[in-house]
Amino acid sequence: MQRSNVFGTGAFSTVYLGSNIAKSEDVAVKVIDRDVLCDEEEERLLAEIEILRELSHENILTIHDAYCEPQSYRIILEYMNGGDLFGIIEDEGCLDEINARDICYSLMSAITHLHVHSIAHRDIKPENILISSSGDDLVIKLGDFGFAKREVTPNCLLTLCGTPSYVAPEVLQKLPYGVKCDVWSAGVLAFVLMGGYQPFHGKNEVEIKNHIVQGGYNFDGKYWSHISDAAKDFIDNVLIVNPDDRTGAEDLMSHSWFSEDNLLSTPPSDSSNEKPVFFMIGSQRSGSNWLRTMLDQREDLVGPHPPHVMRDFMPLISKFGDLSQDENFSILIEHVCTFVERNQVPWNDKFGQRIHFCRKTVYNQAKASCERLKLQEHCCLNNELYLLSIFDALMDFFADANGKELWICKSMGMSAYHTSLLKFYGQRRLRYIYLVRDPRDVAMSFMNTTVGDKHYYAIVKKWVKLQGQAIAILEDTPDNVFNIKYEELLQNKEDMIR
């Protein structure tokens, strides 16, 4: 065995990429320092080794050998070259249903094998599901059996362990529990894979625990409208608070979802979490008004008069307190909704009636967006992203009220929030429309109208600022910007708008 480079570290261990010379294959060599292990930790490590040696399954990480040396333990494990499932979730946000189903089937097969041997894993989460890829084939294997325990008699397990957002209710309530705790964790994972956010969330572990114990979750239409009923039924059969009523792993292997034929390999193009969103940058008045008017003539696109939510609320947002607290977030939503409803130029629906926002609808969508971002960023959100989630919910509400699929934000000032826009929408959804125009024409168009203060310097100064923001966006994400030249727009309007 030859050791090579380090590719992983833990509290008590270092993982090296090694090579099995006899078999010409890579292996993972996990080296644990014995000096830092207490008696309980050493006992748990030996139990983990024993359990891994007993198991043999295509979706469970294989242990090749283990050695006890005076200063360390050395465990030789199967090497997985694709990282872990958490990395995929971080990159993709969520998976299409077919890939999610394949992963869940493999995981449920591994869990079934464990439960047949009366073993509970007790820490199933994306970080503990390892990936190996060869071409288009993706193989997952369950690893990290540090909390694994035998269920000697039914519901004999008592230890509170695992990762809070994935732990079963009976574990959190400190009730005696059994192997079905793994089934619950797999259900949470299935929800995250397809929805892109946690089914049970809160500002701290206490709130998360309360939501888990109550078992309250829902399938937000924005993220679940394209997911099959069979997938939702699978989750409903798994996320049941009472473990006696929860379907077992072996029975779940024959669930109809795993034999469903008509699943989408990718979300449909009109799925709300894949629809592009449009922001205008770089231009102001006159020529940009031409473009706005013509864009509004598209049957699928609508753009309200901008109320400048980000510009007007960001200077005040600290006064709303910690926005991770539901009460503060709800208060901010109320203020923003009222601000837009009282906008000087009203937001009307397709019947010409002034829109009144349903606070619950706005809250649910904005909250789901925040949870998705927390999972994606693996950290707390800044206030700009909280406010942007509300802005996004209001724009979607406006589009729905007008029977349109897409919306465009006409506020040029949104270009100042490019970093947050890119983080919130991602490169696949975010689109900028940049109207390129001679600055002299812009200035003269202001001078010849009743709009503005008619000061040439002030007009050019504002134009230069907008151009600076637009150029920064062009340099950062050029593929996300559609350049439209004013002269070409006037000559060939229909083709340019398409």
Active site amino acids: 123
| CA 152 to each of CA 119, 157, 248: distance values in angstroms, whole numbers, following the listed order | 9, 9, 17
What is the distance of C-alpha 71 from the center of its chain?
42
CB 451 within 8 A of CB 285: yes
Q: What is d(CA 23, CA 19) in angstroms, rounded to the nearest whole number?
A: 9
Tokens standing for 317?
């947002």
Q: Which of 267, 213, 240 is nearest to 98 (CA)?
A: 267
The maximal CA–CA distance of the chain, rounded, in angstroms, is 88
Identity of the amino acid at 456? Y
Angle of helix 439-447 relative to helix 456-476, nearest 10 degrees, comes to: 140
Measured CA angle at 182 (ends 252, 153), to 5 deg: 100
Helix (H, G, I), strand (E, B) or coil at 175: coil
Alpha-helical regions (H) of 299-438: 309-313, 326-341, 359-377, 383-401, 418-429
User: Helix, strand, coil: what percent of the chain each, to 5?
Assistant: 50, 15, 35
Q: 64: which residues sit within 8 A by CB, 6+ positions away?
A: 20, 27, 76, 77, 78
As given in the structure block, the two tokens for residue 373 are: 């971002």
200, 206 Cβ separation under 8 angstroms? no
- Integer CA distances (angstroms), 411 to 15, 114, 301, 361, 469, in order: 51, 56, 16, 24, 13
